Amino acid sequence: MNATTPVTTPGGAPDDWQDALFTQAPPRLGNQFDDDPLLGCWLARTIPAAVAASLTDELREIGGLAGGELYRLQLADRLNEPVLTQWDAWGRRLDEVVVSPLWREAEKLAARHGLVATGYDRALGRYARLAQFLKVYLFHPSSDVYTCPLAMTDGAVRCLLASGSREQQERAIPRLTSRDPDTFWTSGQWMTETTGGSDVGRSETRAARDGDGWRLYGRKWFTSAVTSQMALTLARPEGNPAGGKGLAMYYVEIRDADGRLNGLRVDRLKEKLGTRKVPTAELFLEGTRAALVGQPLNGTRTIEPMLAVTRMWNSVCAIAFMRRGLALARSFAKERKAFGQPLEKLPLHADTLAGLEAETWGAFLMTFLLVELNGRQESGEIDEQQRALLRLLTPLTKLITGKQAVAVVSEVIESFGGAGYCEDTGLPQLLRDTHVLPIWEGTTNVLSLDALLRSDLHSGLAALMGRASACLRGVTEPRLVAAAKQAVGALERAALVLESGQEPEIMQAGARRLAMTLARALQLTLLCEHAQWMMDHGGDRRGYAAAMRYSRQPIDLMTEVDPEADRLLLG
């Protein structure tokens, strides 16, 4: 057969029949700043025009990277994971971790764009946190969770500002907030031990005095970002009592000037369901040199500012993953056809995606309210009611958005059919990475209890009701008024339950549904408020559609609680 003779199949078709077979166009991402259906109008409503204008170019640049170069690198980098080398060929202990190419790039971008530094940019006043987290929101989904060390870095800055010595502040803060990749440091947060991450008061790590400093002995069971230059950690000074009160917070630099590890070994990297690009290690502290931060007790309290910050990061990462999932799902629904039509034209597919959009809008508005309040607090422009709202919103936002993100991204996977289940689309990674959000920085149950059993719940609840009522007062469109009233009604019922003085066991058992009711009711009122604004400013009805759709999804999740009957089920 010569080169020009066409190959034929047994049926007689020419060999280009294979070229004629259908191949599906993959989902495409555009500029993630310009394509976001909510971001532009939310910016116009929330941030003064001059501040927004000063941010727009950089946000558009990050949006372009996130939907373009960084996203392509992320897909190409799919199989790379961090590698731990514990020994060299001659028996020298190394414990070196090499991270993925995308992580190396993400570190540079994070420093250059000031993903931590912007939050401390005093020139931005109370808008500093908003400016920072708009960048984080765009950057996160294309970073392979590089936001994990950034969150802890930011938390470390807040902690050191609150309790660090002058020396600690002067050494660490300029590095943690550097915009120069060569001098930028990240920080770890080593709290969880084998005894438990929720009940850290059981921590076993011991702190012994060594001259002017301290040495730490123990095992840290989950330490993400082991490649960081420093960490804040908890340990019990010798002689201190058991429990959280007996712990103290310590500042640790991980390597010395020669690059040698500071009295610790990296036992192994965790084999995880997701966040596989994040090097989460088990560490053994065997005389790690450390400096005390604050007093030699009450460490769980000293580290609280860290948690307030990382929970805010978690919430922003949750809405960012929801947005990324929907950006991909919406693109696919335009391209993919079934029964003669693009998926987006099929009523039930459209209904499914619309429900996810409404959840994402609600989660976004609540999260950026939390961010706004943090910015106000740090710039000193906050009143007592806002402060009380901020304290309650921190756990509520983290817990609800973590759960919303898992639900939304899981549904996104199904919206791709079988392709969503295949690794080389990159979609399973999105779901796996999202799944960590309800676990770390406090699980859903732990945060529900944190929100509802706190001593200042009364003022927090009053502030939450006040914010929701303000939303209701601001809406005039009759169906929005009805939806906002539905939400305020759910809040009133929740308040009655909370103030009914029920048995502690009953209160604890119902805490998750109660916390979620508060969160969902607030999201609905915020949606109504935003929807009214959109209609009043250009007649855009998308916000109205989101509020209406959200109002038809469950708001009041409270049910009767019967711990005794539940225990029968657990046998």
Q: Does 436 bind ligand FAD (CB under 6 A)?
A: yes
Cβ proximity to ligand FAD, 270 vs 345, nearer residue: 270
Is residue 392 within 8 Å of 460, Cβ to Cβ? yes
Contacts of 152 (CB under 8 A, 6+ apart): 186, 187, 188, 189, 224, 225, 228, 306, 310
Dihedral over alpha carbons 501, 506, 508, 513 (to 10 degrees): -100
In the complex, least distance from residue 228 CB atom to ligand FAD, rounded to whole angstroms: 9
- Residue 64, Cβ density class (10 Å: 0-12 exposed, 13-18 middle, ≥19 buried): middle
Q: Does 439 bind ligand FAD (CB under 6 A)?
A: yes
In the complex, least distance from residue 303 CB atom to ligand FAD, rounded to whole angstroms: 10
By CB under 6 A, the residues from 187 to 246 that bind ligand FAD are 188-192, 196-198, 222-224
Contacts of 446 (CB under 8 A, 6+ apart): 198
Q: Does 459 bind ligand FAD (CB under 6 A)?
A: no
Cβ proximity to ligand FAD, 62 vs 516, nearer residue: 516
Cβ proximity to ligand FAD, 150 vs 449, nearer residue: 449
In the complex, least distance from residue 251 CB atom to ligand FAD, rounded to whole angstroms: 15
Segment holding 235, helix H or strand E: strand 230-237
Is residue 277 within 8 Å of 432, Cβ to Cβ? no
Q: Does 449 bind ligand FAD (CB under 6 A)?
A: yes
In the complex, least distance from residue 341 CB atom to ligand FAD, rounded to whole angstroms: 41
Cβ proximity to ligand FAD, 132 vs 314, nearer residue: 314
**Identified binder of ligand FAD from the candidate list 103, 120, 361, 440, rule CB under 6 A:** 440
**Identified binder of ligand FAD from the candidate list 346, 419, 446, 545, rule CB under 6 A:** 446
Number of residues that bind ligand FAD (CB under 6 A): 21
Phi, psi of 357 (to 5 degrees): -60, -45
**Identified binder of ligand FAD from the candidate list 147, 228, 262, 275, rule CB under 6 A:** 275
Going residue by residue from 279 to 318, which x/- string records binding to ligand FAD, judged by CB under 6 A? -x--------------------------------------
**Identified binder of ligand FAD from the candidate list 46, 169, 379, 443, rule CB under 6 A:** 443
Q: The dihedral of CA 523, 526, 527, 528: what is its sign? A: positive
Instruction: Please work out, in degrees rounded to the nearest 5, the angle formed at the alpha carbon of residue 30 by the alpha carbons of 411 and 128.
Output: 90
Separation of alpha carbons 379 and 373, rounded Å: 10
The tokens 């912007």 sit on which residue? 118
Q: The dihedral of CA 29, 31, 37, 39: what is its sign? A: positive
Cβ proximity to ligand FAD, 91 vs 504, nearer residue: 504
Separation of alpha carbons 570 and 402, rounded Å: 26
Residue number closest to ligand FAD, CB atom: 197
- Which residues sit at the interface with ligand FAD, rule CB under 6 A? 188-192, 196-198, 222-224, 272, 275, 280, 436, 439-440, 443, 445-446, 449
